[in-house]
Structure 1
Amino acid sequence: MKKIHFLIGALALLLGASCSKDGEMLTASLPGEEGITIGSVDTEIVLDKENASALALTLYWDATGDLVLSNPDAQVPADVVSQTLQFAAEESFAEPYEALMTTGATSVQYTVSQLNAIVSRLGFEGGAAAPLYVRMKTRLGGNSEPRYGNVLQFTVTPYFIDMSQIAIRSKDSGTDVAAIPALTDGEYAGLATISSSWLNFYFVEGDGTAWGTLNDGSAGTAFALQQTTDLTSWNCWFPEPTGCYYVTMSTSAAEWTATSIPEPTVQVDDASLAMTYHKAQDTWSCVITTTGDNAAIGLVQSGSLYNRSTGDSAPVERTLSLVAGADGAFTVADGSAASGLTAGAAGTYTLLLDLTNRSLTLAEGEVEVGGGDEEDDQWPEDPAYAVPTGDKVYIYNLDGDKNPTTVAGTLAAAGSGTYEGFIYFSAWYNFKFGDTDDASTAKFYGAAPLSDNSGLYRLYTGEDMYAIWYDDGTGAYCHVTADFNERTWSCEAVTSLEVLGSFNGYTENANEMSFDTATRTWTATIQAAEWGSGFYLRLNDDWNRCYTDLDLDGRLEFRTSSTGSEFLPAGLEADRSYRLTVDLNDPENLTYTIVADEGGEEPAPEYPETLYAYYCWKTKYAEQMASRLISTGTDGHYAGYISTSSSWDDEVHTNFVFSDSALPNDGTIYGTLSGSQFVLDTSESSYAAWFTNLGLNRVTVDLTTGSWTEEALPIAVTGTFNNWSLTANPMAFDLATLTWQATCTVPEIGDGIQIVLGDNWNYKYGGADGVLVEADNNNNIQPAETGTYLITVDLRNAGNLTYTLTKQE
């Protein structure tokens, strides 16, 4: 796929008129007389579905339609000038696709999927190259005649889009749970089986257009829809009942409905028989026996209708009927209607309602539908599965592609094929098990790949495995068990660890230990007038889950009873305070230390050399490193650059956290306090950080005061070639590579090129050999020759800012 950058020249047109308050005629116009001039580096784009999120097209323009008024004292709305990009399959622009530009914007970007959706709506065929025409339409107010700029023509080869159905895509797993067929363009209706109560999902059309619930940013409206590009928030949801639903969805009305039919029924010979669901085949079946010839088969269903009026908890009754058509097809009709199915001679038949192939058939005899209703058959085949035989299994961190990278924790063998241990899980933490601590040789175990997330606790080794995740929005220290014989795992949050014994009269909650998220250890201060027989540790308020050290070797052992579990370390003095620290992270070496609490001043804090920023969900679960901040030379102070997506709909690339670890979701994680955007907080109740202005920001962090600052910066390429303009060649952020890019034509090299951040020359960089340095006008970037260049700048590592110049042929 070729990545194309276009420059749209200055806008100019004479616009409409209005009257000022004193009766004079007020004339509004844009400076200049020429229309838009469009230039391009290349004229061919081949779109690849495998790179749907990659950047395909960037458009720039260097004027935003500033008004010239005959009365300079008159006031006009800031958005009185509108700019609209038009895309068309014909040069006449008879039926264009239009995209309204944001007021004040000077550029716009389209990903592969977005551009593919545009040309598909214009009627382009998948796999076939066709001309696409683009121009800018500018209008003053709603009643004036628009002015059109010059036309750019280039060739686009889209990939095929199937608009014959709309997907119901699970928010949690990101996979399609069901698909609803299209009745007409943008109107969908059909049956779907929903296996999870309150399933969160999005509607996704074949061209990638996604629909979530209508919201005002603080509350959503059930069954009302709006388009979205963010498949992480403001999702739609099904009501509580599971089973079969008749779903309708209208893009024109922007709403959907769901009629719950938990178990479809078949009526024959005055009897009503419930159908059985076979999950693996997504098919409902019912074996029926007729006592007479030519028995009519009834398929009238009593359902509960949920829609925008009823909400998700007060449905109204609704009757639907399944009506058979030709070649196994069927429709769903309102009210009671004949199915059109009739059995032949008296005997046994099987009715099959196949939701995958959308067919309704009546077969003679009893037809076996394999899988789905047997517990073992619901899981995908896993012929390469094997039970680990080592003394340990390992919990692995995952990269952005869900590939295992480094070991995060360890479980020790508790029996043949069973393992257990403790680990801290951050919110929604993703991981996989491995049978060795070497990622290059380990056999990995993930979750069974089922779209409704029911495979979360089913261990699976196929290449299509899902990542396993900690299913909670709040991080916790957990006790994890894995039974590879049964192919299951489980975890339990450690909600309390307390010190009990004769020294405190076995008083519950008297000596609760606190958990340190940085060191992953538990601590408590204990003191006693008399130590008696000592103490033990009790987990989660359970008297049958205790830890002790009866042989006094500094290592804890698990006991299933508190009776006889007390131990007394040597040297404890009456009426003296001690600091007890417990480390449960190595399952083969559960340790504790107990030292006298001498009081006094706290030691000076130690700060890391580098601070990292990670793109994350609002839950603070990190997905990808955004930046490395370096020390400013003062302990605990850091600075660097962080770039974001241009849209708040992209949750991951507009939220971030700081961390002292080079691994995501590890070490000390710094979020922000609610209502205090620039105050850092390491507690579980903290929030992901965000910027006031999206784009490029210079960031400083002060860990000594727990605060950070932002400085929003435009970024541009400048030099002799554009008369050192800071607006002629702005750079755009490419989410696929996390770099800033611009295409520039350099007719003369002159004094070279600088990369400038800020509209007041705040930070300017020159450089050589691909490395950026602070510019002093003697070290500007020097292209080898004149020509057109794609300039790419990587600001992710404050200690090593880099650039590339790619000559365009």
Structure 2
Amino acid sequence: MKTMKNFLLLLAAVFSFASCEKDEDKIYLSSIQSGELVATESTVVLSQENSNDIVLSLAWTKDALQISDPALSAIDVTIQTLQVSTTQDFSGVVSENVETSLSKAYTGAALNALAKNIGANPDVANNVYFRLAAQTGKNMIPVYSNVVTVAVTPYTIDMSLGYILNADKAETGVTLYSAASDGQYLGFMGATAWYNFFMKEGDGTVWGNDGVTGTAFLMSSEESSWNFWFPGMGGCYYVDANTNKKAWSALYIPSLTLTGDVAGTMTFDRPNVKWTYAFSAAQAGNITFKVNGTGRLYDSSTGTDGSDSDANLGIETPVSFAQNGENLIFGGEAGNITVNVPAAGECTLVIDLSNPKQWTVEVTSGSAEPEPVRETLYMLGISEGEGDWNFNNYLRLYDEDNLGYAGVADVNSPWGYQIAIEEGNWGDVYKLGEGDANAGTLAFNAENNIPAPDGGLYFFDVSLKALTYKLTAIGDEIYVAGLNKLEGEDWTFEPLPATATGGVYSGSITITQPSAWGFKIYLFNGDWNYVYGGSAGKLYYKSNNGITDDATLAPGTYTLTIDLINATYTIE
């Protein structure tokens, strides 16, 4: 009705103008004229490989009311709707979308989803028809453009799998499973602490955390969404992501216990998403046992603060497995599980949870328990004189997948240094492979120590997977960013000066309001790569979580002290 009123007002304006002329100089307002629609392609074959590419573009001319006097502009009061159907006369299922521009581009995923929604058959060519419907009001008879035909071959959309993407939205190879293809995706994940990710459905829809409220464990597919994240404990998680409820949960399972013919505590192999238990079998044959434990459930009611205290936030939840044929089922009462032991001697019981469609259990010959990931590496001789080496200086794990360790040391090492993997163990150490004091490769139990740079404060980054090391000198200032910042505001780097104590920086900060995401510590001005987040007085390199202590402080001026060597901070 509002459109019709505007239309009548425009008519009145035209007639008012016309009345100023001679009676015989009439101006005529004609009905809208149909626009012209064109497509860039006449044939499109879709696949997963081109799902992110632009595969089809449409363009059209604007439909408008026409005026007989060429000196006057056409009146644009039209509503243009792009209609798409698999029937040429548009008598079948029709997709309709109001368009405000003069063109539209489809990615492979978007066109594939459109074809599915209008009933196109997968894996064969379907004639898909496009046209524009122009109206001056929703209750008016539309004027249609020409019909454009595009032969579209869609690929089958498998809505049974949810694909886990990393923080950069690249596929990781990890999936969750929706047995009924109903939008509820389940499965186990081996996650590091605070691991963050997105999830993509088979139709290309990408889900992340609700970016409007920022509430943990709420889901959104809008552009404003940002990555999900796990709590501050790495290990085994049972994930339930429900796109209909727009919520997900993570059930953390710290341990599993075996009772029956074998008894003990299993070990979690995080990279391979398996639980293992090594035992000695007296003979070949079947064994029967039960598996259960106690987990902690994290959802939108519990949230997570991104720190070690997350361990106390989750809801205590019993967990167990039972057997269904050759597969395992999760939840409910613990049931008897029977498997065959192939031979007497050393064996390993393996519960494999890596395939969300099929959880399995078996016993293999030999001991195959995973090597535990070490939380620290020790830099022997990095800050001491000859004959006075110890395990006081260490690097902390920050990237479990790549066995990345980082830390800061006040270097005083005339004889070079070694990297030990275990406190008190002087024999198992890494020394120099190739390189110099700034960067190089490591070799286990090599001949020469790693050369050290001139004395001073340095940041160390070591990878035991790549067997590399890299040092970066730290100056007389580090930087704070994110204080008092609301969502969408630019972060500025505010300097924090060094004190007389090596590795310790301190200065005044003024808090006027809680930071939207907390603040972070940066080692170098304008460099976003060398960053620490933190919580509860501890600093964590490369943490995605900012320090949020300021959210609980009253506005005022405080002293912020950062100890890079011990990875701690205080706000007083």
| TM-score category, normalised to shorter length | 0.5 to 0.7
Give the one of 444, 450, 469 matched to 1:489.
469
User: Offset of 1:294 from its aligned partner?
Assistant: 8.1
Contact 2:4 2:137 in 1 (8 A): no
Aligned to 1:317: 316
What is the TM-score normalised by the length of structure 1? 0.39
Q: Note the 1:259-658 alignment, pairs <5 A.
A: 259-268=251-260, 273-279=264-270, 281-287=272-278, 297-313=289-305, 314-328=313-327, 330-333=328-331, 336-339=332-335, 341-342=337-338, 350-356=349-355, 358-364=357-363, 366=365, 368-369=367-368, 417-421=434-438, 487-492=467-472, 494-496=474-476
Partner of 2:164, secondary structure, is: strand
Separation in 1 of the partners of 2:31 and 2:322?
Answer: 66
User: Offset of 1:326 from its aligned partner?
Assistant: 3.5
Contact 2:124 2:153 in 1 (8 A): yes
Aligned to 2:241: 249
Separation in 2 of the partners of 1:252 and 1:357?
Answer: 20
Partner of 1:337, secondary structure, is: coil
Query: Partner amino acid for 2:178?
Result: A
Partner of 1:114, secondary structure, is: helix
Q: Residues 53-89 of structure 1: CA distance to partner in whole angstroms, max 9, x if unpaired?
A: 4332222233276899xxxxxxxxx9x9754433334
Contact 2:35 2:63 in 1 (8 A): no
Contact 1:420 1:482 in 2 (8 A): no
User: Offset of 1:340 from its aligned partner?
Assistant: 5.3
User: Offset of 1:47 from its aligned partner?
Assistant: 3.7
Query: Partner amino acid for 1:252?
Result: N
Structure 1 479/151 Cα, relative in aligned 2: closer, same or farther at 3 Å?
A: same
1:225 aligns with 2:219: yes
Give the one of 204, 209, 216 matched to 1:208.
204
Structure 1 309/20 Cα, relative in aligned 2: closer, same or farther at 3 Å?
A: farther
Partner of 1:281, secondary structure, is: coil
Separation in 2 of the partners of 1:152 and 1:169?
Answer: 36
Separation in 2 of the partners of 1:343 and 1:325?
Answer: 12
Separation in 2 of the partners of 1:540 and 1:51?
Answer: 56
Contact 2:38 2:60 in 1 (8 A): no
Separation in 1 of the partners of 2:175 and 2:52?
Answer: 22
Query: Partner amino acid for 1:63?
Result: K
Separation in 2 of the partners of 1:265 and 1:367?
Answer: 21
Q: Residues 91-146 of structure 1: CA distance to partner in whole angstroms, max 9, x if unpaired?
A: 44633444443xx4222222334323433555656653322222335567777787
Q: Residues 649-708 of structure 1: CA distance to partner in whole angstroms, max 9, x if unpaired?
A: xxxxxxxxxxxxxxxxxxxxxxxxxxxxxxxxxxxxxxxxxxxxxxxxxxxxxxxxxxxx
Structure 1 46/354 Cα, relative in aligned 2: closer, same or farther at 3 Å?
A: same
User: Offset of 1:154 from its aligned partner?
Assistant: 1.0
Give the one of 158, 171, 181 matched to 1:185.
181
Q: Residues 481-518 of structure 1: CA distance to partner in whole angstroms, max 9, x if unpaired?
A: 789997122344513289xxxxxxxxxxxxxxxxxxxx
Q: Residues 243-285 of structure 1: CA distance to partner in whole angstroms, max 9, x if unpaired?
A: 222212222222222222133444436x874332334533222
Separation in 2 of the partners of 1:268 and 1:142?
Answer: 71
Contact 2:185 2:241 in 1 (8 A): yes
Contact 2:87 2:128 in 1 (8 A): yes
Contact 1:15 1:145 in 2 (8 A): no
Separation in 1 of the partners of 2:40 and 2:358?
Answer: 51
1:87 aligns with 2:79: no
Structure 1 35/285 Cα, relative in aligned 2: closer, same or farther at 3 Å?
A: farther
Structure 1 282/316 Cα, relative in aligned 2: closer, same or farther at 3 Å?
A: closer
Contact 1:277 1:372 in 2 (8 A): no
Query: Partner amino acid for 1:224?
Result: L
Q: Note the 1:770-785 alignment, pairs <5 A.
A: none
Separation in 2 of the partners of 1:66 and 1:264?
Answer: 73
User: Offset of 1:166 from its aligned partner?
Assistant: 0.6
1:45 aligns with 2:44: yes
Q: Residues 329-372 of structure 1: CA distance to partner in whole angstroms, max 9, x if unpaired?
A: x4434xx3243523579997724223136433443565654867
The alignment covers a number of residue pairs equal to 384
Structure 1 40/281 Cα, relative in aligned 2: closer, same or farther at 3 Å?
A: closer
Structure 1 226/321 Cα, relative in aligned 2: closer, same or farther at 3 Å?
A: same
Aligned to 1:734: none
Structure 1 272/116 Cα, relative in aligned 2: closer, same or farther at 3 Å?
A: same
What is the TM-score normalised by the length of structure 2? 0.53
Structure 1 371/288 Cα, relative in aligned 2: closer, same or farther at 3 Å?
A: closer
Separation in 2 of the partners of 1:82 and 1:288?
Answer: 73
Separation in 1 of the partners of 2:30 and 2:265?
Answer: 74
Separation in 2 of the partners of 1:107 and 1:343?
Answer: 62
Structure 1 46/246 Cα, relative in aligned 2: closer, same or farther at 3 Å?
A: same
Give the one of 234, 243, 247 matched to 2:226.
234
Q: Residues 371-397 of structure 1: CA distance to partner in whole angstroms, max 9, x if unpaired?
A: 67588xx989xxxxxxxxxxxxxxxxx
Contact 1:282 1:355 in 2 (8 A): yes
Contact 2:37 2:59 in 1 (8 A): no
Q: Residues 165-203 of structure 1: CA distance to partner in whole angstroms, max 9, x if unpaired?
A: 111211058342621012333423322223321112111
Aligned to 1:195: 191
Structure 1 479/306 Cα, relative in aligned 2: closer, same or farther at 3 Å?
A: closer
Separation in 1 of the partners of 2:160 and 2:45?
Answer: 24
Partner of 1:118, secondary structure, is: helix
Aligned to 1:656: none
Query: Partner amino acid for 1:277?
Result: F
Separation in 1 of the partners of 2:465 and 2:338?
Answer: 49
Aligned to 2:124: 128
Structure 1 124/379 Cα, relative in aligned 2: closer, same or farther at 3 Å?
A: same
Q: Note the 1:77-156 alignment, pairs <5 A.
A: 83-91=80-88, 92=90, 94-101=92-99, 104-122=100-118, 124=120, 127-137=123-133, 149-156=145-152
Contact 1:210 1:229 in 2 (8 A): no
Separation in 1 of the partners of 2:527 and 2:137?
Answer: 42
| Bigger relative contact order, structure 1 or 2 (CA pairs below 8 A, ≥6 apart) | 2
Partner of 1:119, secondary structure, is: helix
User: Offset of 1:153 from its aligned partner?
Assistant: 1.5
Unaligned 5+ segments in structure 1 are 1-13, 22-29, 69-77, 381-413, 423-432, 434-444, 446-456, 459-476, 499-538, 545-617, 622-809
Separation in 1 of the partners of 2:301 and 2:63?
Answer: 43
Separation in 2 of the partners of 1:252 and 1:307?
Answer: 16
Contact 2:200 2:207 in 1 (8 A): yes
Query: Partner amino acid for 1:298?
Result: K
Separation in 2 of the partners of 1:484 and 1:419?
Answer: 18
RMSD between superposed Cα atoms in Å: 5.1
